[in-house]
Amino acid sequence: MSACDLGTDGLVLSTVSLHIDNIVPHNSITSIEAQKAAAESVANSIDKPSNGSPKQLPTLSRQDSWAHLQIKDRMQWMEHFKQNKRGGLIFQDRETLKKQQGVVKEVMMQVGSQLLSGKLAVRISLPIRIFEPRSLLERVADGWNYAPTVLKKAALSGSDPIERMKFVMAFVSGGLHFCVGQLKPFNPILGETYEATYPDGTQVIMEHVSHHPIKSAFTVVGPKGLYRMSGVYEFESVSTRNSLTNYQNGSATITFHDGVVITFTMPQIKMSGVLFGDRVVEIGGSSKFEDSTNRLNGDEELAQSEKLRLEALQRADLKMREA
């Protein structure tokens, strides 16, 4: 993970070592009382400007900053996964996998039946057992679960642009942990909306704005105007004989309280073993980050693309030694 400072004197590369566990500790909220205390701490931590005095920058108390705003059971997503030696995670929830067995056969039977009946337009219905009881809008919002902690920390790191960029990159990569579920969300209907509020007051607002292609608009507003994240994602799926890759095309824009704007793109999530073999989930490609105000660019290489890059470097090094 790296950030590039495009200064007037040339290109300077600043390598960033980022460990998410150092940014988001394992402590979790265990009670409603703790959540209320955290929300009150946010409200009291920002000084209100007096008449005629300059506006004070937002600050956070130590109590509010971490321990009382952690996601409850944030590692629960790993319960049905194990590490794959070749990269990615192997899904091991036998009950869910059993629900998905035979789906391809059922779909092919529908196609054959409709073709035999002479219907020109083939409409396929998927069995209800492979769905989770939520829509795509709510599923996408899972990826923003670290907004009350990491993204808020980014908003308060304005004096150090590289530090802010690191926190934004951590917010994006950390949220990917919540996007690996194997049940399919329902497709939202045109005009469908979704709203949610985190314990610290962060608001999430989404609307499904297009069905062909599938597009959803979103806005995430931090407490006390610390930040505003918005954008439109176009969802695309590409399938092969035994795999499915999902894309969130488009960029998101985060506007912080001090006027700095950071944009970023999302990587893709690949699921292999759809028909046979182990069900492996892998996050690949890269995420691009840009802070045009401070002339900073960040590039996050993930999973398979990083693996291939390292293998290419190893092969090149081996050829140089043999020459």
Decide if 8 is inside a domain.
Answer: yes
Task: Name which residue leads in pLDDT, 271 or 163.
Answer: 163
Decide if 211 is inside a domain.
Answer: yes
* b/e code 106-141 from CB counts within 10 Å (16+ = b): eeeeeeeeeeeeeeeeeeeeeeeeeeeeebbbbbbb
Contact 289, 168 (CB under 8 A): yes
Using CA atoms, how far apart are residues 170 and 17, in angstroms rounded to an integer? Answer: 11
Decide if 277 is inside a domain.
Answer: yes
Decide if 53 is inside a domain.
Answer: no
User: Tens digit of pLDDT for each residue in 290-305?
Assistant: 999 999 999 988 755 5
User: Tens digit of pLDDT for each residue in 222-254?
Assistant: 999 999 999 999 998 887 777 778 889 999 999
Using CA atoms, how far apart are residues 59 and 45, in angstroms rounded to an integer? Answer: 6
Task: Report pTM.
Answer: 0.67
Decide if 51 is inside a domain.
Answer: no
Decide if 210 is inside a domain.
Answer: yes
Using CA atoms, how far apart are residues 84 and 69, in angstroms rounded to an integer? Answer: 31
Confidence of residue 61 (pLDDT cuts 50, 70, 90): very low
Query: What is the average pLDDT value for the chain, to the nearest integer?
Result: 74
Decide if 9 is inside a domain.
Answer: yes
pLDDT at 226: 96
Terminal Cα-to-Cα distance of the chain (whole angstroms)? 31
Task: Name which residue leads in pLDDT, 59 or 93.
Answer: 93
Q: Total structural domains in the chain?
A: 1
Q: Residue 197: CA atoms inside 13 Å, Cβ hemisphere, count?
A: 7
Domain that holds residue 95: 2-45+69-322
User: Tens digit of pLDDT for each residue in 142-190?
Assistant: 999 999 999 999 999 988 999 999 999 999 998 888 877 777 888 899 9
Q: Which two tokens stand for residue 14?
A: 């600043």
Decide if 50 is inside a domain.
Answer: no
